[in-house]
Amino acid sequence: MTHYAGAKILVTGGLGFIGSNLARALVAQGASVTLVDSLIPTYGGNFFNVEDLKASVDINICDVRDPYAMRHLIQDKDYLFNLAGQTSHLDSMVDPKTDLDINAAAQLSILEVCRHHNPAIKVVFASTRQLYGRPDYLPVDEKHPIRPVDVNGINKLAGEWYHLLYNDVYGVRACALRLTNTYGPGMRVKDARQTFLGIWVRLLLEEKPIKVFGDGLQVRDFNYVDDCVAALLLAGANEAANGKVYNLGSREVINLNALAELMVNVNGKGSFDVVPFPADRKAIDIGDYYSDYSLIEKELGWSPQVGLRHGLEQTMDYYRAHSQHYWDND
């Protein structure tokens, strides 16, 4: 794909996990890329994520809650990949207002900037499967009822729907991808704040047992980050996506015990313990989940290409080589 060659692109959350991998793909296509990130320490932003890209991208450290900065950054761009977010479900319960400000209010003000200062921009929003809550049926398609089980899910839903509204009412072309668990090089592995997979990687490399909560029989689907980036690129390039929401997902569905076993196997050593759910996590757990992603497959031609084992091998190799940039600076 060379769709983005010469295009001016803003990636919010660009020093984070998915944003930095997306930036790499856009630079490879010859796009002119600006990354904006607040680098709030408890979130996923990390300068090392763009170590290899430093000379090829513009980096702007500011907050998406600042509408004046966002106006300056958005007004001359062709595309906005809108990935900045507070992503911790637990943190959203401890500090709901910050989650609201970033995941909902700031999204609205970003879209206002688009409407008034750059209505021709195309926007792709990173939404989440969290807004479905505990599934009524599996696999979960886009018609599944929306029933978020945490504050983060509600605020991400508002953020997503603002994008669709601005597409439908104001003609600011926008679409949303409901990401499932995404993993790979660049994800936050320092602590259990974000995905459990991140802390599992760290524990394995530190030769400590992984903790699997509950009975370990909960099933999940996972996307390697390259597959997620491919979907974001397709959604941005395709006019058929405007005003739409698409699930991402994987045909490899796995329970957490089997995943822990696979990760130990990929690492060549390690162990895992099945332990009771901490009460704060149990209260917002969604049980079994996996997506039906046939809509994006049919309409945009996306399907995941990277198998779980291969993706985990890439991930473990990366953190084995670069751990000092992800947790040794504690």
Ligand X SMILES: NC(=O)c1ccc[n+]([C@@H]2O[C@H](COP(=O)([O-])OP(=O)(O)OC[C@H]3O[C@@H](n4cnc5c(N)ncnc54)[C@H](O)[C@@H]3O)[C@@H](O)[C@H]2O)c1
Interface ranges with ligand X (CB under 6 A): 13, 15-19, 37-40, 43-45, 63-65, 83-87, 102, 126, 128, 179, 181-182, 188, 195
C-alpha to C-alpha distance for 119 and 171, rounded to whole angstroms: 7
> What's the min distance (Å) between Cβ of 207 and ligand X?
25
Which CB, 235 or 273, lies closer to ligand X?
235
Which CB, 5 or 94, lies closer to ligand X?
94
C-alpha to C-alpha distance for 209 and 273, rounded to whole angstroms: 7
Residue whose entry in the numeric block shows the structure tokens 């084992």: 309
Q: Between vectors from CA 106 to CA 173 and to CA 83, what angle results, nearest 5°? A: 60
Which CB, 47 or 170, lies closer to ligand X?
47
Please name the residues in contact with 23: beta carbons below 8 A apart, sequence gap of 6 or more. Answer: 11, 14, 33, 35, 50, 53, 57
> What's the min distance (Å) between Cβ of 186 and ligand X?
7
> What are the tokens at 274?
């099945």
Q: Please, are residues 64 and 36 in contact by the beta-carbon 8 Å criterion?
A: yes
Residue whose entry in the numeric block shows the structure tokens 């941005």: 236
> What's the min distance (Å) between Cβ of 248 and ligand X?
9
Chain-centroid distance, C-alpha 200: 18
> What's the min distance (Å) between Cβ of 218 and ligand X?
16
SS3 of residue 216 by DSSP: coil
Which CB, 49 or 267, lies closer to ligand X?
49
Which CB, 44 or 304, lies closer to ligand X?
44
> What's the min distance (Å) between Cβ of 15 and ligand X?
5
